[in-house]
A and B are shown apart, each in its own frame.
Chain A
């Protein structure tokens, strides 16, 4: 059974159709990179998976077999799906450790001591254990994004969504975040990563999805989609990205 199952996904903003009948099956532990030009619907697609965006009623998304619909089951889905944003969206009034502890405490009812231990372990795993008592604003962008990853991991999600996690970072900090993501890729968590980092996609992805105009144009292993794209639109996009 797929961990994420997307069937005939349509998404409208008013009359504008941002997603056009997307079908995707993503297996447990799979790492999928989503690429495509600006405005192609990449963010919209992954934001539908945890229903940060509503989508048409004739569409269906299932996470671990649970339908992603408004109501009670949505809490279950969101507990299973972590998300890392381009702009980190850390909670500025909480320390780094408290950022990581909040969801387990409030959603799972974990005790303070247990949540703190788990947070410390996660922060060590993303390499910032010594920053735990600082506030996010004191950290560099790369460190903040690693906190955001630890915060998402704290709920022990089946699925992790990344929306251009390195696009807001200074170039010298991109590597440290990608390294953390690479390390995650081997751990059995399903990852769906919207990215412009073609090197990361080539190295880490099990599958690359190229989107344009709200549709999946081409999908396959990275060496095929990135190395020998079949579709003209994919070729155009890749040559534009690689030549600039």
Chain B
């Protein structure tokens, strides 16, 4: 075994954040079928976003977990085995650009009186969504540490409510998921067919 081999193995065995992207049919029950693949193995889903993709009838899941590459590979194959799953991709944080959206509700009087609102917005890349007499809602997007930072800043001014979205992620590679697939799943069967031959031909294929 060479040095680089053993380093690779170490990396593969270290837990890190993975963003798993799943393209599925928009079908009742598929959320449960995917969720139980994780819960059965006692793996916690840290963040989950499900929304329609750019293609009609196809939904996109973004699932964030902290696991080893080996486990993630196995999970990806189990998810892909589900009949209504079109394709699964898994990426480390290095491969993707991701954002979380956060909303902060604070009392308008306190903020107006005590905070240099303009500086605060600038420094945290935030913007104002709503200003009412009783409260103001700020919004920011960013990584966890960034959205966390604004909580810290606003906490002393009587933060009333806070909410954060799940992670949404997009692949850095300019070719997007198509080429990513080839790389991550080098040993996957017949990747040629994957790029969803029927993705936008729904009418021509069997559906329920």
Answer whether A and B are interacting partners: no
Listed in ascending order, the chain A residues whose CB lies under 8 Å from chain B are none
Chain B contact residues, CB within 8 Å of chain A: none
